[in-house]
Structure 1
Amino acid sequence: MIIDLHVHEKRHSGDSVLSLEDAVWQARKLGLDGICITDHDNNNIKDFAKKYSEKVDFPIFVGAEIFTAEGDFVVFGLDDIPEETLSAQKLLNLVEEADGVAIAAHPYRNNFRSLRDHSYDLEGFWAVEAFNGTTEPKKNEQALFMAGDINMPIIGASDAHQIKDLGKMATCFTSSIHCEKDLIEAIKSRQVYPVQWTAKGYQPVTTVKVPQRAVSANNL
């Protein structure tokens, strides 16, 4: 199953112009098997997304992209999203207590929401978003190196805020995903690998193409 794990919907992410309806339409067009709506610091779309998922018979999972004092995590399984900005470790502890999963989101993107090297000092996250569809290759390269350093699974996601970006990067699950619990367990058991949309459909991606060089996940 191929799922885009990081999508922002305009109802509850103020920087997004992408509707859930358009996201599902584009996902089906690309051949995705599901999408995850991960709005900034909230999961308020979950009731609407559940009803719409049932109406159109297309898997929609709802998590959140949560900003901490050190940077962003994409989180699944945490029903109550903290209203205040927590330390990264405190958020990770809450996710662990909820039997959820946290993913380091675009950890080296050049903005204030990136974890950067704080990732090395934290415990309790389960994967690294090293292939982010809206992050420049050099910054994805740094995330790929970090994931290799700490022996962490790598996922792909679009981080789409508009329809043209949805599905550029995604994650292939080697097991069937029927519910959020399945998704969480698959990430924790490393049954995932990143894929990229190409003219031939989705293909596994292991290399970040940076001008003058290419860095491969297989060599880390």
Structure 2
Amino acid sequence: MLIEMHCHTEEHSRCSFVSAADLVRRIHAKGLQGIVLTDHHYLWPQKGLEALRRRAGVPEHFLIFSGQEVKTPELGDVLVYGADVSLPPGTPLSEIRRRFPGAALVWAHPYRSGRLPTEADLRHPLLDGIEIFNSNQSVRENCRGLRQWHQLRFTAIAGTDTHGPSYAGLYPTLFDHPLSDLAELAGELKKGRCRPFLKEIPKAGSKNRVTEVTIGAKGLDEIRERIIIKTLDTPCQWSKAERAHHILQSLSDHGFARGPYRVPLPIDEDSSTLTLIEEGVRGRSLYDRLLGAPKAEGRRYLQLTARWLARLHNCRLLLTPADEFLAEEQRRLPRYVQRFLDIGHPHSRRAAEIMEVVDERERRLLTGRPELLIQGHGDFHPKNILLGQDRQDDPSTLFVAAIDFESSLTLPPAYDVGSFLAQFRNQFFGHPQILVDYPEELFLSAYLEERSAVEDDFHGQVELFRARTNLSIAAYLIKVGMGGSEDLWRVLVEAEQALSAGMPTPGEGRRHRGGPA
């Protein structure tokens, strides 16, 4: 059974501005099976609850109980389920336990205002449970509650702490067995046969241990917290993931927190457990969207994606060392060719020649041109772009978000553009109509319209990095056992074509221009 365990009414809590009848109706409409009113130091009499049911017009099987929130000298606010009188402020826990041995006592919102409870307090002998989710705690504070619950395995509940109508029933508690009265509810809680209502789903295919957590009940307004918990296995993995976490924080500070262009918001990090927590983005990948969208909508999605990238580049952030890009390329490019050599691939020489040209042009491009380097995404492709809506019934709330910043470097902006175009063609090559309906000029035009300025040789740079990405795709095909596929031959040919198309001409590379090509 799903029960709202913590809420306040305007009749008996001065801090609330929702009537008891409205609160009951909203909780019932949301699909929960019951509600416990927990006004401050006030216990509703049974006749009052019966009259409330009639005013609210809910069926008899919907449970309406009354507990109370009591301020104690030991732990502050505690939810009391099962006392038969209203308790005054300052009543000690020991007195409540002595007078009402069958009552269940739950520490209310212990993580609020940045508090981090000690293990001793969470295991207080007079407590029966801990409220780990509460609407008056921040997402970070709710996450801390979740982590400590998993670490210490105490009995936990969720409570919305409702004071208004819009978020009623957001954080219910799930009871394992049916309930008929408040005494049964208290007994089940004391036995630990309940938990916060949430979904925890391990993410398949991740290099690290990643869990997606959705907290609370879905309502008409779709307001639910979704978080991603990443646990790294080694200090090396932690270092890379933590850097990406800090890049996300900087981007969120530069306008990518809300609105149509976003990144997942970083929430918390714990170096002692190698754990990172970030906001989960509700949406589907650009890849999946384009496969099923009407053409007009798909074109809008692709243009939004291009504008997201241009806005990132317009920030001209410098968050990682400037010399890292070329140094990383010196490690990556030979690795791609080595994949060919390791299996004696017949196109090993061809791959080596492509690598040599890419390497020489990258060095020449960046020599003496530090102004080219800005913080880029580093792995920008259709499966790393999510599109969603804040409200499913309101298309104006559409947003695009990029994920996976572990490859983010200070790099030439053309790297992200060329990489995207190469990956786009490769990922959709088996869907030729997609390539017809969404030509790369659509992406490039939207990108250039949004960019504040680009180099005069920008298109040549894009072709260089398109070729470089095709070489990496070919190496990946060998890695997954597809070295003999026609796709490998195709991407090598396309790499050579890109290098020919991007051949620099004398005098290119110093002037800047803005706007579309």
* TM-score (norm. length: structure 1): 0.81
Q: CA 1:141–1:92 in structure 2 vs 1: closer, same or farther (change >3 Å)?
A: farther
Partner of 1:214 in structure 2? 277
Structure 1 residue 152, shift from structure 2 partner: 1.1
Say whether the 8 Å CA contact 2:36–2:65 is kept in structure 1: yes
Looking at structure 2, the residues matched to 165 and 45 of structure 1 have their Cα atoms a distance apart, in angstroms, of 26
Q: Structure 1, residues 84-136: CA drift from partner, whole Å, max 9, x if none?
A: 4133x4245236x431101111101018xx79447246212111111113310
Say whether the 8 Å CA contact 1:131–1:140 is kept in structure 2: yes
5+ residue gaps, structure 1: 216-220
Counterparts of 1:26-105 in structure 2 under 5 Å?
Answer: 26-44=26-44, 46-53=46-53, 56=58, 57=60, 58-69=62-73, 70-87=75-92, 89-94=93-98, 97-105=100-108
Q: Structure 1, residues 55-79: CA drift from partner, whole Å, max 9, x if none?
A: 6323111000111123111111111
Structure 1 residue 39, shift from structure 2 partner: 0.4
Q: CA 1:48–1:130 in structure 2 vs 1: closer, same or farther (change >3 Å)?
A: same
Pick which of 192-201 and 124-133 moved more.
192-201
SS in 2 for 1:165: coil
Structure 1 residue 45, shift from structure 2 partner: 5.7
Looking at structure 2, the residues matched to 7 and 44 of structure 1 have their Cα atoms a distance apart, in angstroms, of 13
Percent identity between the two aligned chains: 24
Looking at structure 2, the residues matched to 42 and 147 of structure 1 have their Cα atoms a distance apart, in angstroms, of 29
Looking at structure 1, the residues matched to 15 and 217 of structure 2 have their Cα atoms a distance apart, in angstroms, of 24
Structure 1 residue 189, shift from structure 2 partner: 1.7
Partner of 2:10 in structure 1? 10
Q: CA 1:187–1:120 in structure 2 vs 1: closer, same or farther (change >3 Å)?
A: closer
SS in 2 for 1:169: coil
Looking at structure 2, the residues matched to 15 and 106 of structure 1 have their Cα atoms a distance apart, in angstroms, of 16
Higher strand share: 1
| Count of aligned pairs between the two proteins | 209
Say whether the 8 Å CA contact 2:77–2:107 is kept in structure 1: yes
Looking at structure 1, the residues matched to 226 and 95 of structure 2 have their Cα atoms a distance apart, in angstroms, of 29
Partner of 1:218 in structure 2? none
Say whether the 8 Å CA contact 2:122–2:130 is kept in structure 1: no
Q: What code does the residue aligned with 2:107 have? A: A
Q: Structure 1, residues 125-177: CA drift from partner, whole Å, max 9, x if none?
A: 11111111331022223333444454311211111000112111101111001
Partner of 1:136 in structure 2? 138
Say whether the 8 Å CA contact 2:128–2:190 is kept in structure 1: yes
Looking at structure 1, the residues matched to 137 and 101 of structure 2 have their Cα atoms a distance apart, in angstroms, of 30
Structure 1 residue 16, shift from structure 2 partner: 0.2
Q: What code does the residue aligned with 1:39 have? A: D
Say whether the 8 Å CA contact 1:104–1:119 is kept in structure 2: no
SS in 2 for 1:163: coil
Q: CA 1:34–1:172 in structure 2 vs 1: closer, same or farther (change >3 Å)?
A: same
5+ residue gaps, structure 2: 198-215, 230-264, 268-275, 279-517
Pick which of 121-130 and 50-59 moved more.
50-59
1:123 aligns with 2:125: yes
Q: What code does the residue aligned with 1:79 have? A: D
Say whether the 8 Å CA contact 1:106–1:143 is kept in structure 2: no
Structure 1 residue 38, shift from structure 2 partner: 0.1
Q: Structure 1, residues 164-200: CA drift from partner, whole Å, max 9, x if none?
A: 1211110111100110111111111222121112369
Q: CA 1:16–1:183 in structure 2 vs 1: closer, same or farther (change >3 Å)?
A: same
Q: CA 1:121–1:24 in structure 2 vs 1: closer, same or farther (change >3 Å)?
A: closer
Say whether the 8 Å CA contact 1:64–1:76 is kept in structure 2: yes
